[in-house]
Amino acid sequence: MSYSDIGLPGRTSTTPQIFLSYRSVDDEPPPGRPDGRYVKRLLEQLNWELRQQGAADAVFWMDRNKIYPGDKWSDILLNALGKADLFLALLSKNYIKSEWCATELSKMSARITSFPQDLRNGRIFRADKNRVPDEQINEALKGIQAVRFFELDRNSDREVEFYYGGQFQDEAKYCAAVHELAVAISRRLEALGVGMTRRPATNGRTVFVAKPSADTKVQYQHLVEELQGSGYRVVPDPGEPLPESGAEVKLMIVDGLGAAELSIHLLGERRGFRPDGLGADTVPFQLACAADEVNRRPSFYRLIWAPKALPTDDEALEKSPREPLEVLARFDAFLPSDHVEGDTAERFNEFVFQRLESKAQPEIRTVYIHYTDNDRRLALDVFNSIDENKRTRTIRPREGSPKEIEDAMDFLTRDAQLAVLCWENASEAAMIKEIGDSALGRWRAADAKNRSILLLMGPPGSDAKSDAVKTKLAPGVAHVIDATSGGDLASMLAPYLD
């Protein structure tokens, strides 16, 4: 049986997808051991074992999402469960107390019942972190093979976890349990004909992932594997090192950026090597070239990972986390279109895929332009900057009673996918009120998956507006454009309309 014969509902990729359901508290690092996260270590070891079993393309989905303003968690959860081939529950004393975990399990169980009878069995796997009384275990997790990551002392009945407190209590038994779990998963994937020792067909999209410095190389490899496993073409070729010649490096970088829809940059502390004749280190050089591409092609933008704490950071650095925007400033200037994230590598990877999925959505056809009473001039400038031949644009009415204006807004926003909130002279508090407790906020909340608010800030500049670049002012704002120093509004808006 080939994977294409299965025809499972919701599946559009040939990459095997495994939903990892766990309680986040089980992944908290113990005091003094920032690298001692339980789930992270298990996932790394399990991925390695699956590669040895021929399931190198398997991709785990876990609730590591960096939920972007405008996204709805339930939609993201259902989307991931709707694509999953298998479900792995990390059972623990904490897991059984979580309503989220119970929801994930029930949704997957319900989906499995919709499969053809011969495709239902063996979809749910269970890894027991510690002992849970049988009567407290969800029915969907009973009667299936459980791989134990603990044992009971025969004399004292004391529970001994193989990995606890950020260190091994019994490494050999831990590795044996991971191996047992990986063999079971890979055999089920093989029986389904999913993703064994092959690369899925390309999805026709190209992403530029900047060559990393030595201190982010591991994170680079993990990101590249996930992108390629989902059908993306990654440039420059991850399997080829950058040339030693500066001229050849420049040609490779510029050509790669020209073929890509966006660029991704991982910023540690190191700047990379300096090729002969280039005059710049490779990490900042790739950022600068990507900035040139942004200026050349408005729909292009940079996704930047500048973690608050690198995995190699010592305890002192952990106590004084890095400021992502300050890290970027050491390599290159911040651009208004940049997306800078400082969370963990796992969360950044999920964020990357969310951005890629959002770019795949149909272009925005209807734009609504909103303003408070003091900011109509800027709103009119925005209105006139949008090409009426390419898309419909509407603007908040100027006159009428509050009820009449609100009714008019309901009509004007009916078909809009994007609202541009213009901030010129209004107070910060007034802007926050418009985003939340107003007809605009209710419009977005009614369909948060398909509607978003873009905050466009015109002159004059202020401390509140500077802070909004980092904070996005309030929940509900998807993007911020800083036009306080002027500029071409059409070019600034283009990346969010195309």
Query: pLDDT of 124-133, one tens digit each?
Result: 999 999 999 9
What is the pLDDT of the chain when averaged over all its residues? 85
Residue 295 pLDDT > 70: yes
CATH number, span 3-192: 3.40.50.10140
Model pTM above 0.75: no
pLDDT tens digits, residue range 316-361? Answer: 344 578 999 999 999 999 998 899 999 888 889 988 988 887 666 5
Secondary structure string (H, E, C) spanning the chain? CCHHHCCCCCCCCCCCEEEEECCHHHHCCCCCCCCCCHHHHHHHHHHHHHHHCCCCCCEEECCCCCCCCCCCHHHHHHHHHHHCCEEEEEECCCHHHCHHHHHHHHHHHHHHCCCCHHHCCCCEEEEECCCCCHHHCCHHHCCCCEEECEEECCCCCCEEECEECCEECCHHHHHHHHHHHHHHHHHHHHHHCCCCCCCCCCCCCEEEECCCCHHHHHHHHHHHHHHHHCCCEEECCCCCCCCCEHHHHHHHHHHHHHHCCCEEEECCCCCCCCCECCCCCHHHHHHHHHHHHHHHCCCCCEEEECCCCCCCCCHHHHHCCCCHHHHHHCCCCCCCCCEEECCCHHHHHHHHHHHHHHHCCCCCCEEEEEECCCCHHHHHHHHHHCCCCCCEEEECCCCCCHHHHHHHHHHHCCCCCEEEEEECCCCHHHHHHHHCCCHHHHHHHHCCCCCEEEEEECCCCCHHHHHHHHHCCCCCEEEEEECCCCCCHHHHHHHHHC
Domain boundaries, the chain: 3-192, 206-359, 366-497
Per CATH, which fold does 366-497 belong to?
Rossmann fold (3.40.50)
Which of 4-18, 260-274, 341-355, 431-445 reaches the highest mean pLDDT?
260-274
Q: Which of 93-97, 160-164, 229-233, 249-253 has the lowest mean pLDDT?
A: 229-233
Region 295-323 average pLDDT: 75
Q: Binning pLDDT at 50, 70 and 90, where does residue 59 land? A: confident
Q: Binning pLDDT at 50, 70 and 90, where does residue 451 land? A: confident
CATH architecture entry for 206-359: 3-Layer(aba) Sandwich (3.40)
Query: Are 3-192 and 366-497 the same fold in CATH?
Result: yes
Region 364-386 average pLDDT: 91
